[in-house]
Structure 1
Amino acid sequence: MTETNDVVFEGQVVHCIGCGAKVQTEDKDQLGYTPQSALDKGLANGEVYCQRCFRLRHYNEITPVSLTDDDFLKLLSQIRDTNSLIVYVVDIFDVNGSLIPGLHRFVGNNDVLLVGNKLDILPNSIKTSKVKDWLRQRANAAGIRPADVALVSAKSNQNVDQLLGQIDKLRDGKDVYVVGVTNVGKSTLINQIIKQATGIKELITTSRFPGTTLDQINIPLDDGQKIVDTPGIIQPEQVAHLLSGKELKLVTPNKTIKPRVYQLNPAQTLFLGGVARFDYVAGDAKHGFTLYVENNLFVHRTKLENATNFYEKHVGEMLTPPTAENVADFPKLVRHEFKTDKKSDIVLEGLGWITVPAGVTVAGYAPEGVAVLIRPAMI
């Protein structure tokens, strides 16, 4: 049943092909709003985008929407009762931030193909077999038992052909649901699949902003089944929710990461712009600490005893992001201390990680609400 303000064309409710929202022409402050003139043009050429997606695609502007976290979860929970293959996309650069421990609450008993995206930003020296094994272990630790694991770069189309082969084998004639948290590249991956199948480029709206896909988007398959791009589950602890688009460019890797090694003595500090901090608190000697973060993110070394005052004086100016205009609203940095008994990574969710040696005490600081974790070293 359609609602009174739904736009209907040839007997079907019209959805934005960028984000999946129902198109409407009456309320510019609600989901799916499209001016009548733009709607007429879109219906004529077969590509209807809501105004939000149009401005996002052409001007990289984001408009607030009224869809709540509960709305996203309700949409995802419908997958539980289907007989389908779940393609679960995570960000290799932010695995802990993109894993959902309760995934099977949303997908039921359906098989899960775990896809690690953004392979292109990892250093070339990393063996993909090791990353696959490590990714499966991280998933298992979160209670997820994938039927298979794939590594791709949706942005550069790396390994997408192999992924399509894995999907076809595992789905065995069933529908495919692509799920994941916001900002892991689901829609970019779907666009690559559509491009290979139809030649159409960038059909679905993509951006750095969390929550771009607002409803399920169906892509028909040759055998009558479909691939469904679902809304990203909102992770409030992701750094992406705290930064503007301009600021995100400074912390979100878009090219292969070049590891940066800093030789630190005990009681020295590194600032990662103004968004994070790392302290070498105690250890028996000078050690090398390797940073895996966006290549252009400014890193500053100083003495631990001076660090807090230095941050308060320079955040928003020397230490950016946040930029000066956003400092007042930026959360305070919260300290998390760790003692290592083996080579480990200190993970700053959404920003990257710092590889530390065994036998040291270190502290990682991230904005309040953003997790800082320790894990066995990935490299």
Structure 2
Amino acid sequence: MHSRPRNPSTLSRRRWLGLAAGGVAVASLGLASRTARANTPYPSRPLTLVVPFSPGGATDVLARHLARAMEPQLRQPVVVENRVGAAGAIAAAHVAKTAPDGLTALFGGVGTNALLEYTQLSLPYKPSTDFVGAGNFCFVDFVMAVSASSPYRSLADLLAQARRRPGEVSYMSAGPLGTLHVAQEYLWKLAGASLNHVPYKGESHVVPDLVAGRVDLALMTLSLARQLEQEGKLRLLATLAPERLRAAPALPTVAEQGFSGFAMPTWNGVFLPRGTPAAMVSTLNAALNGALRNDEVTRKIVDMGISPASPNTPEQHAQFMARERERWRAMVERSGVKPE
């Protein structure tokens, strides 16, 4: 008895249908996996807020206030992690290269997210394109401080000595080519003076040397400088704010002392890696704005001599960042600081 030959076309159809069914099953599994991920509440794990400067400084304290305020809203711990060095570039590069899963954010500022793009030629990330902003948190106004035993009783005294003996008067910054370095070099150029730049890792590190007179001048946040002034350790010469500070109305601005229009307001905000889903950015924005509406949080910020930002959207923050990048690009150009 002879078996009937198989129809090749029938066999091909059966094989194709089997393969197609398998492909549909695989695709369905992939779709289910993606759907499960999409339906997972965000955040489902603790978040890390990376701070570019050392523990104990103003930036670190601000970040910890924000982290604690966001935790109840996000229903997850927010861990502050300090990554110090290269005027903030080490921390920013780390965050820029992490997965855009909304679980790692940068507590960024002028240096990390605007200025360094124009001062560091080999920057391992690009501030203007490698981040998406969740929102602005605060504005920070700095004051000029010298040791209480310093011979300089005013900004004019200090500049007169710097003109008489170029390079002898020293000033600190939190790192070469950073915000404080560029702003002060711009001021010294306006003043026709030459000062010696001494970089430090952060505000908390400079205090012993400033009090002892080993460095002549430092820019500091008002809260720390005022505390040391009240202890008889420092003398304040000026604020770099656009106008006198409500918390220190007797302290003149730099602009009042012969440099009309000069001001250096800085800021801090929350930034996520490029590619972070918009829904995650919105969630963090809502948590940040919740912190800004928290009276206890804003009181702590104001007590530091720092101004809380108004609640803001990611879109408003993006527009603000575009203006700030242009402002600092121009300041670098006018300061004479050479990118390295």
Q: Determine which structure has the larger helix proportion and give its number.
A: 2
Q: Determine which structure has the larger strand proportion and give its number.
A: 1
Higher alpha-carbon Rg: 2
Q: Could you state the TM-score of these two structures normalised by the residue count of structure 2?
A: 0.29
Which structure would you say has the larger RCO, counting Cα contacts within 8 Å and 6 or more residues apart?
Answer: 2
